[in-house]
Every structure is written in C-alpha cells, then in structure tokens.
Amino acid sequence: MSYKSVNPFDNELVRSFDEISDKELEQKLVQAAACYSEWKAKSYSDRAKIVNRAAALMHERVGELADIMTLEMGKRIGEAKAEVQFSSEILTYYANNAERFLADVPLHPSHGEGHMESSPIGVVFCVEPWNFPYYQLARVAGPHLMAGNTLVVKHASCVPQCAIAFEKLWLNAGAPPGLYTNLIISHEQSDNIIDDRRIKGVALTGSIEAGRVIAAAAGKNLKPSSMELGGSDAFIVLEDADMAQTIKWAVWGRMYNCGQTCCAAKRFIVVDGVADAFLAAFKVALGALVAGNPMDVQTTMGPLSSEAALVKLLAQVDDAVKHGARVELGGRRVDCPGAFMQPTILTHVEPGNPAFRDEFFGPVAMFFRVKDEAAAIALANDSDFGLGGSVFTKDVERGKRVASRVDTGMMFINNISWADADLPFGGIKDSGFGRELGDMGIQAFVNKKLVRYVVADAPV
C-alpha cells in the first residue's frame, strides 16, 4: 500500500509516506498496551482533561486542519472547517458525558442487591476512511479514550497528513505515549494486528468488502467489533411535501461532500403526483452547480477524492446505462483538470440493473417514480443497505408512520440532519452493525460486569 497525498483539484502529488516496519509496529503496540495499564486506572476527570485539551486545539486550529483536508481529499473549505469544528464538539461531548454514560446501573434482584458496572477492555484497533478525515477519528477517539481504552488507528492511505495531524493533536494535548497511535501500515500488517492478543476490539468504517474481511477476522479471534459500512439511502417525497424545502435538502443530501457520504441521499423515491415537478426542479438545481477550486469559499462543487474514485464512478454510470438506465443529467467528467464529475441523475433503473443494488459514492442520484406512499416504502426497503433515509411531508405524523416502516438504522423527517453528537449513528443489513455517537457509542468496547451481593447459604 502506498500512502500519498494527491491533490484531487489538479491530481498533483503533494507528499508520500513510507509504511513503518514490523519492528516499529511492534514497538507501537507495546507502547499502546503499556499505556492502557495506566490510562484505565485514571479517573474520568483526569481523562477528560486530555480529551478537552485535544478538543480545544482542534477548535483553535480549524483553518490549518481544514486546509490539510481540502488539499488531500478535495472537500470544499467551508465543509472542511465545519467538519473540524464538529469533531472538536464530539470530543467535548464525551469528555463531559462519559462518566454519566458509564455510571453503575443499580439492579433489583429478588434477593439481595446488585449493579452493572462498565470498565474498559484494552487496546482497540480502528480502521477509518478518507471521506471525513477528522470526524471519523473523533467518533472513535472521544468515546473509547474516555471509556479508558487506548487506540491504534489505521487511516486511509490517501489522507496521511490528516492522520498525522490528528495524532499530533493528542500529543500536543499532553496525552501519554501510546494513548492514540496513528499507524501507517500495509493491509498485511493490518490483518496481523487483528490477530494480535493485545488487541481487544476492532472498529471499522468502510466498504462492505472491507467489513466482511475485518468482521470475519475479529470474529475468528472472538473480539467485539463495530462495522459502519455503506448505504444507499432513500429520499422519499410524498405529494404534500413542501417542494421548495425538499429540493434544497435533495441537493444538499446528494451533493454534500460531493456525494461521498455513506448516509447521503442516493435513491430519490417520489410519488407520481409531484414526480415531474420534483425532477424538473432537481435538474435545474444540480445543473446550477459549478466545478471549482475547493479552497475557494465561492466554489459550489468540489472534486471527488481521487482520480481512481472518479474512474470507478464513471464506470458504474456507464454500466447502469448499458443495463437500461437513462441519463437525465450529467453522466460525464467535467472538462477540466482534476477529479471532477458532473452532477448526474439516472432514471429508469430497474431491479435487474446492477445500479439498483449498488452504492454510488459521488454526485450520482437515482430517481424513481412510484404511485403512492405504500409503493415508496416498499421500494425504500428493497435494498441490501439499511443505513439512513428520509421522508418529506407536511404531515409530521404521516412522516413518523413512514419512518417507522422503513427498514434502516436512521430516518429523518423533512431533513437529513444526522450531524449531532447526541444522535447514535449506524445501520443494519449490509450497512453494518453497532452504533457510534450518542450514549450508545461509548458502549461498544466496555465490559458490562454484573456485581451481586446477597447474604445466603450455599445450596446443599
């Protein structure tokens, strides 16, 4: 594996990094295990001092960290700054709430007394993706460090400078060596880490393929794991939706982070009565976006993360068309340097088309016309994924009814506002298992221990 920073705006190589040796990796694992022995014994307030300092540093260095992100994976600078700030807020959230989330829970057995207590389990190995280079790291660092674990982290090979910058935050915050360790390693080394007896849990955010491999390896070793994988979220539009607001969310939901979001709106399912009006307005809104330098705050559409990502997406569109889909808008790369793709809308995607089951990780929307609410729900559920979804209607109770009937980990009514540290994030089916963020996010890698105390004679 090659760790390289390549600017997707012009496809120019910025910097490359060598993988560490097996000897260096062993030293880092030794250090992480040794750190755990001390960190687990610290109070929540002592842990919070370090985590809060890291959060404060993120807040102070928003511009610097955002610039690195935009340089490495092309996120528009405004979105990049917002991600850094949100990542800081996640760390603060867990520093302030971890003790409450992991407090002893009293039990009331028929005889005596008891409680459940939570304790850390050890070194946790995290494998994280490039599309949210800091947010994904904060989602594991905040809860699991506050729980008393230590982390070793393999970040995506195309954002090595983001990975290094995040590790540096912890060192600058006064974290003991081994508390948070960035690993520039190969796939083979990554596989070996999961087998290592010092690793007690595994967290992945990534593709289905990676999830199957890593979850299987964790399972073979009887280690707990959490998997946040892909998605093909339904965006349901009912006939009574506020169309102006719905179109705004449709554009944001498909084009945020240039469409490179697991829980992005990807399948637009619109009831027949408003289908023509929605499609016409959606085409106009997407067509108004203009490719430009993601460092410029005026840019309305940045590049994809890499040339390889663009080539893969174009091939998916071509394959969809070969199997009967129609291109209503876009479908090509933008005629300029860099990894830019036109905003694209596909229609007439039938169940036999590979696109019907695929995830398009970029600015490609699939549009489906359905006769009514029941048909919309049925189509939303006809997916191998189950991460998120949304429904748009002026009747909130109707929206709640639809949300309850869609098989997915998250549903949003008249919005796609998933970015809140309080909200558990995760899915079902091929979208993985487990939850991150909220009070559930800190529970993944702790030992839930029963303690019972009762005065009783042993059975004869």
**Catalytic machinery residues:** 228, 262
- Assign residue 132 a region (left: φ > 0; alpha: ψ between -120 and 50; beta: otherwise): beta
Q: How many angstroms separate the CA atoms of 76 and 67, rounded?
A: 10
Q: How many angstroms separate the CA atoms of 22 and 246, rounded?
A: 52
Q: What token pair was written down for 94?
A: 């867990």
Q: What DSSP character marks residue 453? A: E
Listing DSSP states for 343-395 in one string gives: -EEEE---TTSHHHH----SSEEEEEEESSHHHHHHHHHSSSEES-EEEE-S-
Question: What are the helix (H) ranges across 21-76?
Answer: 22-39, 44-60, 62-73
Question: Helix and strand tally (H, E) in the chain?
Answer: 14, 20
Q: How big is the chain, counted in residues?
A: 460
Beta-strand relationship, 364-370 and 389-392: unpaired
HEC states along 199-256? EEEEEEECCHHHHHHHHHHHHHCCCCEEEECCCCEEEEECCCCCHHHHHHHHHHHHHH
Helix (H, G, I), strand (E, B) or coil at 332: coil
Q: What token pair was written down for 447?
A: 């030992």
CB 294 within 8 A of CB 79: no
CB 48 within 8 A of CB 95: yes
For residue 7, the one-letter residue type is N
Residue reference for tokens 């989330």: 101
Q: How many angstroms separate the CA atoms of 391 and 246, rounded?
A: 9
Q: How many angstroms separate the CA atoms of 402 and 404, rounded?
A: 5
